Amino acid sequence: MKKIISYSWLTVVALFMYIPVLILAFYSFTSSTTIGAVRGFSMQNYITLFTMEELRNMIIGTLLLAVGAAVIASILGTMGAIGAFYSRPIPRRIVDTANQIPVVNADVVTAFSICILLIVVLGIEKNTFIPLVIGHVVLCTPFVYLAVLPKLKQMDNGLYEAALDLGATPFQALYKVVIPQIIPGILSGFMLSITLSLDDYFISTYTKPATFDTISTYVYNATKGAQTEIKTALWALSTVIFLVVILAVVIMNLAAAGPSGKQEVSAYDSRGKD
């Protein structure tokens, strides 16, 4: 009995979370322009999605930005975490606190402040993409930092010393001993950065060049009266992303049945917890 109640509750919540996306997925394969009106099967939305230059550029741009920002954030955040971890308590505290600011701050405030500094005060052109990339790095790096720190805590500190005693230079010891130990933290920080950057609306909208769009800003603007063709092509985009995410989750679960899933969980959790 208890089990039936549990499962029905889970089912209701899951339906709430998935019905909109699934309905949209269903209608993305038809030629109807509003949901509710069933028309014939059609792949037109997918053809539009992959052939219309505007859409293609937007998707590629968003992905490039996410990967670029995640790479920079991973390097910067990992170095920061290693450096801070082995620093004395006071500098460590200061970096921890500063790192916490973008984590707790509202994205719109972070975006506004970066925009004011870089574009209004320093006069950097949005067209250079510099404000956009810096903004996304600010958004992502703190989470890399937070994902790497616990791995450093878990690591046996004697390993680094041992490497030095055995004749490694500090740089070699770091590169060959420390980094391999904390690589799971770096990877989950990297993945987290990608998803944060892909999901971002606020930083992008305040710092992006006028002619460039990320998925978020594009979809938002499209709800403000775009052509029907684009509107329904975005249904297809939603479906493609949904399928890619499912595929990624399945692969992740198969690749490392258990542990990798847990890491992901702890990394996401740090967003609010610390």
| Positions in 212-231 near another protein (CB under 8 A) | 215-216, 219-220, 223
Asked if 30 touches another protein (CB under 8 A), the answer is: no
Q: Which of 1, 4, 90, 121 binds another protein (CB under 8 A)?
A: 121
Give the range of 44-52, 135-143, 181-189 binding another protein by CB under 8 A.
135-143
Q: Which of residues 79 and 187 has its CB atom nearest to another protein in the complex?
A: 79
Asked if 174 touches another protein (CB under 8 A), the answer is: yes
Q: Which of 30, 141, 188, 193 binds another protein (CB under 8 A)?
A: 141
Residue 116 DSSP code? I
Q: Which of 35, 67, 155, 187 binds another protein (CB under 8 A)?
A: 35
Q: Which of 38, 64, 249, 256 binds another protein (CB under 8 A)?
A: 249
Least spacing, CB of residue 182 vs another protein, in Å: 12
Residue 238 DSSP code? H
Least spacing, CB of residue 245 vs another protein, in Å: 5
CA atoms of 138 and 114, how far apart (whole Å):
9
Which conformational region is residue 258 in: left (phi greater than 0), alpha (psi within -120 to 50 degrees), or beta? left
Q: Which of residues 42 and 133 has its CB atom nearest to another protein in the complex?
A: 133
Three-class SS state of 75: helix
Q: Which of 52, 63, 67, 95 binds another protein (CB under 8 A)?
A: 95
Binding mask 71-90 toward another protein (x if CB under 8 A, else -) reads -----xx-xx-xxx-xx---
Asked if 42 touches another protein (CB under 8 A), the answer is: no
Q: Which of 74, 99, 193, 263 binds another protein (CB under 8 A)?
A: 99
The count of chain residues that interact with another protein, using the rule CB under 8 A, is 93
Dihedrals phi, psi of 35, to nearest 5 degrees: -80, 150
Asked if 124 touches another protein (CB under 8 A), the answer is: no
